[in-house]
Amino acid sequence: MEQSLLYPVRNDARDYTLLDGMWKMRFDPEVLGEKNEWQNGLPDAFSMPVPASFADLFTEKEKREYCGDFWYETKFFLDEDRSTRVILRFSGVTHRADVYINGVKAGSHEGGFTPFALDISDLVNYGARNLLSVRVNNELNETSIPCGSVKTHMDGRKTAAPYFDFYNYSGIQRSVHLMRIPKESIRDYDTSFTLENNDADITYRVYTDGEHPVIAELFDRDGQKVALCEGKSGVLHVQNARLWEVRDAYLYSLVFRIVDEAGNNIDKYPAKIGIRTVEVKGNKILLNGKEIYLKGYGRHEDFEVVGRQFIPALAKRDFELMKWTNANCFRTSHYPYDEHWYQMADEEGFLIIDEVPAVGMMRSLMNFAAAGAGGKDTRFFTADTVPQLQANHRNALEEMIIRDKNHPSVIAFSIFNEPETTYKEAHDYFKPLFDFARELDPQKRPLTGALLVNSTPGKDTCAELCDIVALNRYYGWYIMGGPDLPEAEMAFRKEMDQWALICKDKPLIFTEFGADTYAAEHKLPSVMWSQEYQNEYYEMNFRVMDDYDFVQGELVWNFADFQTTEGIMRLNGNKKGIFTRNRQPKDAAFLLKKRWEQK
């Protein structure tokens, strides 16, 4: 497995071919594919777009809900050039992948939301067509993240039983690149920043697999060189630096070059960076030394038909809608998103709380209801599956931080969402992961994790690990909804009074709060699920939040309606969106727009 997760680029040293398109696919419910040598050719296959989530492309329910092994196949041509390494890079395959080149296994990967790369230089046929086969598995268990289980039906069919409230979209859901890179190459790089008066220092470190020298050059937006440094590590001093600010993004071009004795390029990798600092000081969050208040959304990669596939036009629409509501932040709930989201956020000046897919750490098939209403602990972190789960969690955390550590938009890493945190074993599980994240991130960003409603002061064991306390709360929806809304406000204030004792020196943000709303439903007086009730719900929550000065952010749940597993509490998905699934505003969008214009 290659360790370099750098995003593919084309220049005079590097090249790539995008393998996206129509591939072949076949389900393998009896796990016969490898035995029958499907890696040498996929029989009786049907066509399937890559990238895409396969579920909503079918009209047959058994295909939409398929759970188990399934295979993909495509072919690619490679020229005679043997001077470079041939790297196959998958941006995301959910949840496990075994990759074969010309029938020979090239490698495996677990984790559906971060890239993996394989050096296939010794497996390909040069000057000929090559066969690429991928066996994928989308089953959930209690050692994988996200967590869940598998239900086997009477007829032998298997379906996913997630411990989380979003659909288990699966497949080769992100792009596949065939990369040609030099045999001595740039593998990775780190950046961090310090500011002094109007100047900035960029501390960098470049990781290569050779001994030739490295040159680092910084260019401004106009292409003018503003700093240069030689060496695999060093400091680039920038006079009168333009800072990357919220909704006012300025990006520099940082170019690393490996050079030979004559000064010729062996490898070159360009990257866009934003000069900015982020820290927690007391109960405030600071960007470039100035206080910021987070306002925006929890969201999902989710859209009709395509599921989690990244669609540039849809992403553009989403950023325009977020800007229209005067938002400045979103959380990648509940997994790292496609890399293009971060690139766009860098350009747009949006803040991101980047979340590892540690969701479903509660043994419940109705986790959303159990978490929202404070269900009973299931002693999840006392099971014998915990060591393997923690190893997979650590690996996913490492891959996320390595991939996203240089994005200016990423201001915090979230280590979990709504696990059980009310007993010692939970603390023992999470503490090494927090320690590891702090060691791994060169920019030492704040760490957080979203706490469910029974993780309250005096009961919770993990808030102390967080630099920013993050709460998911549903007072007025799962707790005391409808005519009990006044009582919900009283209960909410009672809990906040307890957090006030803890958050004297630590900021608190809300990472989820919301109410399901059917877009066509209007009712006077209001009832739950109506547009009027959603507004009343938010107005109550905002009254409470505004009375506590340690509250430093509000990310409503959710940006848009999204698909979930079927259930009597879900009307074709979760309807807590401020926008419908096809991105049209509900009444609450106008409430948020007005509030965030003034906040």
How many whole angstroms separate alpha carbon 432 and alpha carbon 438?
10
Q: Of 73, 142, 512, 554, which residue is the catalytic one?
A: 512
Note the pLDDT of residue 382: 93
418 carries an active-site annotation = yes
How many CB atoms sit inside 10 A of residue 490's CB?
12
Q: Which of 49, 168, 178 is nearest to 112 (CA)?
A: 168
Contact (Cβ atoms closer than 8 angstroms) between residue 305 and residue 57: yes
Contact (Cβ atoms closer than 8 angstroms) between residue 346 and residue 242: no
Encoded tokens for 497 = 């009074």
Note the pLDDT of residue 381: 93
C-alpha distances (whole Å) from 37 to each of 42, 77, 577 are 8, 22, 46
Q: Which amino acid is at 64?
A: R
Note the pLDDT of residue 335: 97
* Contacts with 314 (C-beta within 8 Å, 6 or more apart), sequence order: 303, 583
Domains, the chain: 15-182 (2.60.120.260), 186-276 (2.60.40.10), 284-598 (3.20.20.80)
DSSP per-residue string spanning 163-225: SSSS----EE-S-EEEEEEESS-EEEEEEEEEEETTEEEEEEEEEESS-S-EEEEEE-TTS-E
DSSP state of 463: G
In sign, the C-alpha dihedral spanning 434, 436, 440, 442 is: positive
Beta-ladder partners of 233:
205
Encoded tokens for 230 = 């030689």
Q: What is the pTM for the complete model shown?
A: 0.96
Compute CA 205 distance to the chain's CA centroid, rounded to the nearest angstrom: 25
User: In the chain, which residues have pLDDT < 70?
Assistant: 1-4, 364-376
SS3 of residue 295 by DSSP: strand
Note the pLDDT of residue 191: 98
Note the pLDDT of residue 370: 52
In sign, the C-alpha dihedral spanning 414, 415, 417, 421 is: negative
Q: Of 418, 420, 536, 554, which residue is the catalytic one?
A: 418
399 carries an active-site annotation = no
Note the pLDDT of residue 377: 72
DSSP per-residue string spanning 500-557: HHHTTSS-EEEEE----B-TT---SS--TBSHHHHHHHHHHHHHHHTT-TTEEEEEEE
Note the pLDDT of residue 183: 94
